[in-house]
Chains A and B, each alone.
Chain A
Amino acid sequence: MIATGQTLKAVEEVKGRSLWVDARRRLLRNRAAMAGMIILALITLLALLAPFFLPFAYDEINYDIIACAPNWWPAETVCRAPGHIFGTDGVGRDLFVRVLFGARVSLAVGLVATLVSLLIGVLYGATAGYLGGRIDGLMMRIVDVLYSLPFVFFVIILMVIFDRNFILLFVAIGAVEWLTMARIVRGQTLSIKQKEFIEAARAGGVGTPGIITRHIIPNVVGPVMVYVTLTVPGLILTESFLSFLGLGIQEPLTSWGVLISDGADQMETAPWMLLFPALFMAVTLFSFNFIGDGLRDALDPKDR
């Protein structure tokens, strides 16, 4: 706290401790965030490798074992399906494969839609924030107007129009989320633009491109990263919500939302159909949230 500099004895070319290094160290020490990362990596790996090690295909129907419990299921059930560790669904498909397949879709929707929102949001927000003045005022006024739209309703209409197009789902959800991203990026850009070190760079003869690439972008990345990690789970939820309403992914493709929706229907007779997809989704969302919170605390330590 006091006079840290004076006590540091000079060694040949001391290696500096950048804010990134500091943040990484704090993040690595955050157990919840690390657990989140490991779990997320595991789920992703499982989802990607599922077809290579599982004996069932995601759309392999078997009418002999409709809605059967796994062998280890403790409660009394109508039928059992040996070899299906999560049991089977309403048309006898292997639930484990379907949950992992659903993971692919849900994670992909979350990530791609976040990237879409990131792209639009960063471009829009950074432009508004850097240009400032009237243009900024106008651009943010547009965002304000769009903010008062009930956006999920527009996604629903869009999904109806384009007949539940898979790709469009990404874009539509991303288009909903970019507003917040734009606001965050703009706010950050504005506040950094007013910092003295930007003025110092200008006084040192650095031109606008240099200021943007060397000073503004590196300082905006942190908060944006935090927001991105917290956006992914939100978008996974949005997708599952649309799927629940029957407006998302179409059979035989599946997502966690579809699986949960199916499972909820048969909850009384076949609770595993709800349990496993819901568990996977909840654990994933938990992980993302822990990582996001961890990142935020790591980048902006104020002993919360």
Chain B
Amino acid sequence: MMRYALRRFLGAIPTLFVIITLAFFMMRAAPGGPFDSERRLPPEVERNVKAAYNLDKPLAQQYLIYLGKLAQGDLGPSYKNKDFTVTQLIGTGLPVSARLGLTAMALALLLGSFLGICAALRQNKWQDYSVMSVAMLGITIPTFVTAPILTLVFGIYGITLFGHDLSLPVGGWNGGAWRNMILPVIVLALPQTAIVARMMRGSMVEVLRANYIRTARAKGLAVGRIVLSHALRAAALPLVSYLGPALAAILTGSLVVEQIFGLPGIGRYFVQGALNRDYTLVLGVVICYASLIIALNFLADMMVAWLDPRVRLT
């Protein structure tokens, strides 16, 4: 087991290396540089600035310098946010994005699985059809439509139910107050909940048709017991392999959600950074996201091995 973990860790290094290299040279292929859009600097000043950031050196050398620093854990200074290093920026943004993303993911997995199981147990009945129709809606309506609509309903119009004011803040982080998180998390989790529900229904329907479920029924077990101890683990397998793509999708979604709700996460840095040619910042965010996805894929593989004893980790 330890050996497997070590191997996966070592295997992640070349992957990360490929990602960094790709991202580095792609950024540099773009016309323009980080200091183009500002007021014309005097040539001398511009030269000095470039020299300070090593931008006057050949590209290959810049790449090596970057790798060298990266190996020491230094992501470099941000070109645009001049007083901050990339590490600092990510340090402030990541906790926000991570809390948002992980909450949304947990919600999507729990709620989605629950709905999917209910639909599977009532296959081709009205409960099934209604869950699946709502799921289809969740998949087809993009986050940047649900976000403004929810904002309108809960924030701007405000809703009062039995004398309770149900209105919610529509923007800002407010130090991570839970009321501020509700809308962004819902918007982010909605499409994933729908996908998870559809996947769970599909695999649960399949598993419930397996011979060993018939055996369990022949033993006289009640439905709840059969689902929990005989069917769930097998039915959850496809879901586990979906964890990686789900995280990627949530990260992508967080770009939009952070923008709409004005949250100080790293998604905003990325979009701004890409538009402003802030090379180091973009690279830093890409590395951060890629590591997250790699780590989650590793976790997912470990979970598959736990769920299915026939799988051997080698």
Contact = CB atoms under 8 A, between A and B. Distances in A.
A242 to B, nearest CB: 10
A244 B156 CA distance: 22
Q: Is the interface of A mostly helix, strand, loop or mixed?
A: helix
Chain B interface size range: 35 or more
Interface residues of A, number: 36
B251 interface: yes
- Residue with the highest number of chain B CB atoms closer than 10 Å, among A158, A244, A260: A244
B139 A241 contact: no
A260 B256 CA distance: 13
Given A267-B152, A286-B136, A154 B248 contact: no
Interface string A65-80: 0000000000000000
A237 interface: yes
Contact of A260 (B19, B139, B142, B277): B142
B259 A150 contact: no
Interface in A271-304: 274, 278, 281-282, 285-286, 289, 304
Main secondary structure of the interface of B (DSSP, over half): helix
B248 A241 contact: no
B276 to A, nearest CB: 9
A156 B273 CA distance: 11
Contacts of B156: 268
Interface string B140-167: 1110110111001000100000000000
A245 interface: yes
Given A148-B290, A148-B294, A148-B297, A161 B26 contact: yes
Interface string B1-38: 00000000000001100110011001101110000000
Contacts of A129: none
B19 A149 contact: yes
Interface string A106-129: 000000000000000000000000
A22 interface: no
A254 interface: no
Contact of A241 (B29, B256, B294): B256
B255 A282 contact: no
B152 A157 contact: no
Contact of A156 (B139, B148, B149, B274): B274
B280 to A, nearest CB: 14
B234 interface: no
A97 B4 CA distance: 58
A106 to B, nearest CB: 12
A304 B123 CA distance: 8
A245 B255 contact: yes
A304 B248 CA distance: 29
Contacts of B255: 245
A240 interface: yes
A196 B9 CA distance: 40
A152 interface: yes
A233 interface: yes
A158 B22 CA distance: 11
17 contacts: A145-B14, A149-B290, A150-B289, A150-B293, A151-B248, A153-B23, A154-B23, A156-B271, A157-B30, A157-B274, A161-B29, A240-B144, A245-B271, A264-B260, A281-B140, A286-B136, A304-B202
Nearest 9 pairs between A and B by C-beta?
A: A285-B140, A161-B30, A264-B148, A150-B289, A152-B252, A244-B144, A278-B145, A145-B15, A160-B274
